[in-house]
Structure 1
Amino acid sequence: MRERSDESVPSGDGALPGGMRELYPFLYSGTADLEPVLADVRRSTVEKAEEIVALRQSVLALDGPRLEACAARMAVAFRAGGRLFTFGNGGSSTDAQDVAALFLNPGGDARPLPALALTTDVAVMTALSNDIGFDVVFARQLGAFGRAGDLALGLSTSGNSTNLIRAFEEATRRGMLTIGLAGHTGGQMAELDGLDHLFTVPSSSVHRIQEAQTTVYHALWELTQYAL
């Protein structure tokens, strides 16, 4: 199971309606007979797999042409010497690192592209958080490294992470190509005037959102490689 990302869903058993008992009723069945429990686990697994497949298909149907257009602009930026900077919080921070690794070291015959995850330098992250505030941990790094023609890609399940909003604002000021991945209806990211591309996953489940976002950025990578 994926970690919950950013501040979109509070932690704890009561974070979701019914808490853990509603999510995993087989853990609370109180029965010593494993067969009904295993059957319930199988049913739950199949339902979740079917849900994510349907969600990915709906995202593709909704955003297929927009993904292709975004990848074309990414290819133009990379051709001109642009570099990709990625960022996110919690589970989305690991996705940001996965995006950077995918573009930088794709393997096979794919073209490696310059990419850096802004979540990997613990010294910088903790220094900025301690000395200034967590809201600036990505914006300050883009202010130091970013330049016109670079790319900024941020991931959030809620779209409401303040440090992502600040980062996108800084990237826009610097003339960078900005790409956001969010859930639900996009949150505050959907209200940003300067965001060049926004892809939202229409789900209220943090886990399903993150799984679909993985598909989105892999599609962007593949389409960018094709465009190059």
Structure 2
Amino acid sequence: MELGAGSVESLYPFLSAETNDVDTVLDEVRRSTQAKAREIIRLRDEVRRRYREEIVECAAAMADRLASGGRLLAFGNGGSSTDAQDLASLFMHPGQGATALPAIGLTSDVAVVTALSNDVGFDVVFARQIAAFGRGGDVAVGLSTSGNSANLLGAFEEAARRGLLAVGIAGDEGGKMAESRHIDHLFVVPSTSVHRIQEAQTTLYHALWETTLLALGTGGTADVPRDSR
């Protein structure tokens, strides 16, 4: 969705400033950046307080599946597809001293995604892949800022049908994902800002990844470069 002029101004008010004074503009930029930083710090702290115990429980369940030969299947749309691929790469390449774990980003194969979208429909791009690749001992992780993506809801339903552990990461109030009976663990970032939601979700799934490695006893996370987003 494209941002209108009003939306851009609400995010970056200094862009519409009538003055051409550089110091004034830089001061506006500084205050805007500081406000956003304070908000994401507050939001991450809220997520930590809300889900600290469930992150540990979910990571333990994921570790059980992975230790028994299960794989992680991660998926999402748009920016969330990038996060899904990042999550898969974390498990595949966890850093020096840690054991690589099998993980697949379901948005990585452009030929599969475009073929399913063109020939069947975009709503099935993840469900069809879970039907093809998913096994009862696997883990399905879907990310969405709204929680309303039809292709994620279909993927979770297919995952539940096949006995996968289903983990959802959403924003705002969770959307339709919060109503789904097919998700075993749901983490919701309580914000209406897509930017802040995705920033907090990045922290959340990194915490989930590291806690899973700790549960597996693989170690080796100290040398891993941290995502700077």
Letter in 2 for 1:68: V
- Does residue 171 of structure 2 align to residue 183 of structure 1? yes
Matches within 5 A, 1:1-228: 10-13=1-4, 18-228=6-216
Normalising to structure 1: TM-score of the pair? 0.93
> Counterpart of 1:87 in 2: which secondary structure?
strand
Q: What is the root-mean-square deviation in Å for CA atoms of aligned residues?
A: 0.9
The residue aligned with 2:227 is none
Deviations 1:136-193 (A, max 9, x none): 0000000000010100000000000000000000000000000000001111111111
Deviations 1:81-109 (A, max 9, x none): 00000000000000000000011101122
> Counterpart of 1:160 in 2: which secondary structure?
coil
> Counterpart of 2:166 in 1: which secondary structure?
strand
Give 1:194 deviation, angstroms. Answer: 2.0
**For residues 179 and 10 of structure 2, what CA distance do their matches in structure 1 show?**
34
Letter in 2 for 1:169: E
**For residues 177 and 23 of structure 1, what CA distance do their matches in structure 2 show?**
38
**For residues 22 and 80 of structure 1, what CA distance do their matches in structure 2 show?**
49
Moved over 6 A (4+): none
Structure 1: gaps (5+ residues): 1-9
**For residues 106 and 42 of structure 1, what CA distance do their matches in structure 2 show?**
35
Structure 2: gaps (5+ residues): 217-229
Aligned residue-pair number: 216
> Counterpart of 1:119 in 2: which secondary structure?
coil
Letter in 1 for 2:129: Q
**For residues 102 and 10 of structure 2, what CA distance do their matches in structure 1 show?**
44
**For residues 9 and 136 of structure 2, what CA distance do their matches in structure 1 show?**
50
**For residues 201 and 169 of structure 1, what CA distance do their matches in structure 2 show?**
22
**For residues 167 and 201 of structure 1, what CA distance do their matches in structure 2 show?**
21
Letter in 2 for 1:40: E
Deviations 1:43-81 (A, max 9, x none): 110110111011000100010000000000000000110
**For residues 38 and 111 of structure 1, what CA distance do their matches in structure 2 show?**
46
**For residues 126 and 34 of structure 2, what CA distance do their matches in structure 1 show?**
38
Give 1:110 deviation, angstroms. Answer: 2.1
Letter in 2 for 1:11: E
> Counterpart of 1:153 in 2: which secondary structure?
strand
